[in-house]
Structure 1
Amino acid sequence: MDKVMSNKYVIALYVLPALLLILAIIYVPIVLTGYYGLTEWNGIGAMKFTGFDNYARVLQDNAFWQSAGHSLLLAVFSAVSLFGYLLVALVLSGKVKGANTFRKIYLIPMLLSSVAIAQLWLKVYHPTNGVLNSFLESLGFSNPPAWLAETSLVLGALFIPILWQYAGFYILIYYAALKNIPASLEEAAKIDGANAWQIAFRIKLPLIMEVIKVTIVLAVVGSLKYFDLIYVMTDGGPNGASEVMASYMYHQAFRGFDFGFGSAVGFVLLLICLIITWIIRKLTESKDTIQYS
């Protein structure tokens, strides 16, 4: 068996199906998207090659940069929220009564589809008989706001269900990483007189720093290309106040039937994600790697 697996041709034969699949569903569509951005095309008729006109139009489009600002704001909120998820995971990983129950509760949003979550929060934010406004009225607020209809409030109102939706995912990742730390390290720290905060921030967090870096990239990039819940709840409204890059791309391509420009928006979105991922990796790069066994 070792002789067979050391054969380069056999290794290539095993790798080839996965490589072809990755090429077909990831890299080929990326190349095609970049090419379609060089054309004027309504999705049905003949393509007309226009060079970099669509890309220049994207860079000069104020509506696109407004949507990019909304996406970046969501990315910042998502990255900051990771600190809260990490604190919850630290608590759950300790000897806390009922930790298993709370861990299951936090995972509930992961079991729901984005459409179901959107419908749930639409009921919460309903201006007349929604749960939130009914609660505010019971506290004496006579004229509570229409959360999804006011341009100054809609983004904040959308960020709450988005962050709630993925809370369980990140808590589970941090919880698994923390539980993987040998108990002997914590016991040794306690013998040396370390308290709970010192153990958490000087022992546990440095040991899972690589996991934290990965979650930062996942949260930021995921926020930049976020689409589904915003599409269902507001469709980018009112007046583009909740438009993000992915929804802007969808509107241009599938509603405006401008697939050339929509493809250019999608390709620029890809480049922005790659650049920001590179920046995050550079900012969090460390020459020292802490290992434990």
Structure 2
Amino acid sequence: MKSVMSNKLVISLYVLPALALILLLIYIPIVLTGYYGLTDWNGIGQAKFIGLENYINLVKDKMFWESAWHSLLLGIFSTISLIGYLILSLILASKIKGANILRKIYLVPMLLSSVAIAQLWAKIFDPSNGMINRLLMMFGVDNPPLWLADSKLVLYALFIPIVWQYAGFYIIIFYAALKNIPEELIEAAKIDGANPFQIAYRIKIPLISGVIKVMVILAIVGSLKYFDLIFVLTGGGPNHASEVMASYMYTEAFTKYNFGYGSAIGFGLLVICLIMTWLIQKLLSSKEDF
């Protein structure tokens, strides 16, 4: 068996199917997207090669950079929300009563589709009969906000269901990392007189710093390409106030049938995600990583 597994030809045969799938489903579409960005194409007829015109227009497109800024804001909000997820995970990992039930409750939003979540929160944000505005009116607010129709509030309103949707995902990963910390370290700290806050700040958080870095990358990059819930709730409106890069790409490609420019937007989104990932890794890297 060892001689077979050390055979390079056998290893190549095992790796080939996975490599073929990765090429077929990831790298070839990326190359094609970059190529279609060099064309003037409506998605049906013959594509006309126009060189870098779409990419030049993309750099000059104020709407693209505005949508990129909205995506970055969502990434910043999502990163800040990690603090709350981490605190909840620390509490759940501290052997409190009902922790098992609470973990299951936090996971419920992950079981729902983004479309279902969007429809649910559309009812909650409803200006006339929504739960939020009803509560505000009960407390004496005569003119509650139009959450999804106010260009100044819509991004903040959208952040609430996004945080709710992904809470279970981040909490369960933080919780699993915290439970992997040797119990002997915690007990030794307690014997030395450390309180729960000191144990969390001095021991637990430093020991899961690698997981925290990965979560920051996932939160920011995931927000940069976020699409489905925003598209269903607002469609990028009002007046492009909630337009993100992915929804702008969809609008150009599938609403205006400008697949060439839509592909350029998609390729630009990929480049921005790669740059942000590299920057985050550099900013969060420590001497131990080198």
TM-score, length-normalised on structure 2?
Answer: 0.98
CA shift at 1:197, angstroms?
Answer: 1.1
Match of 1:217 in 2: 217
In the alignment of these two chains, the number of paired residues is 289
Match of 1:141 in 2: 141
CA shift at 1:144, angstroms?
Answer: 1.1
In structure 2, the gaps of 5 or more residues are none
Deviates more, 1:182-191 or 1:13-22: 182-191
Match of 2:60 in 1: 60
Q: Which amino acid aligns with 2:18?
A: A
TM alignment of 1:83-94, pairs within 5 A = 83-94=83-94
TM alignment of 1:103-118, pairs within 5 A = 103-118=103-118
Match of 2:122 in 1: 122
CA shift at 1:127, angstroms?
Answer: 0.8
Please give the alpha-carbon distance, in whole angstroms, between the structure 2 residues aligned to 1:76 and 1:140.
33
Secondary structure of the structure 2 residue equivalent to 1:288 = helix
Secondary structure of the structure 1 residue equivalent to 2:287 = coil
Please give the alpha-carbon distance, in whole angstroms, between the structure 2 residues aligned to 1:65 and 1:175.
37
Q: Which amino acid aligns with 2:51?
A: G
Match of 1:12 in 2: 12
Matched, 1:181 2:213: no
Please give the alpha-carbon distance, in whole angstroms, between the structure 2 residues aligned to 1:209 and 1:2.
38
CA shift at 1:182, angstroms?
Answer: 1.0
TM alignment of 1:151-190, pairs within 5 A = 151-190=151-190
Please give the alpha-carbon distance, in whole angstroms, between the structure 1 residues aligned to 2:284 and 2:76.
16
Matched, 1:41 2:5: no
Match of 1:204 in 2: 204
TM alignment of 1:68-83, pairs within 5 A = 68-83=68-83
Secondary structure of the structure 1 residue equivalent to 2:43 = coil
Q: Which amino acid aligns with 1:13?
A: L
TM alignment of 1:201-280, pairs within 5 A = 201-280=201-280
Deviating beyond 2 angstroms after TM superposition, the runs of 4 or more aligned structure 1 residues are none
CA shift at 1:287, angstroms?
Answer: 2.7
Q: Which amino acid aligns with 2:194?
A: A
Please give the alpha-carbon distance, in whole angstroms, between the structure 2 residues aligned to 1:135 and 1:251.
35
| RMSD between superposed Cα atoms in Å | 0.8
CA shift at 1:288, angstroms?
Answer: 2.3
Please give the alpha-carbon distance, in whole angstroms, between the structure 1 residues aligned to 2:235 and 2:277.
27
Identity %: 67
Please give the alpha-carbon distance, in whole angstroms, between the structure 1 residues aligned to 2:258 and 2:119.
30
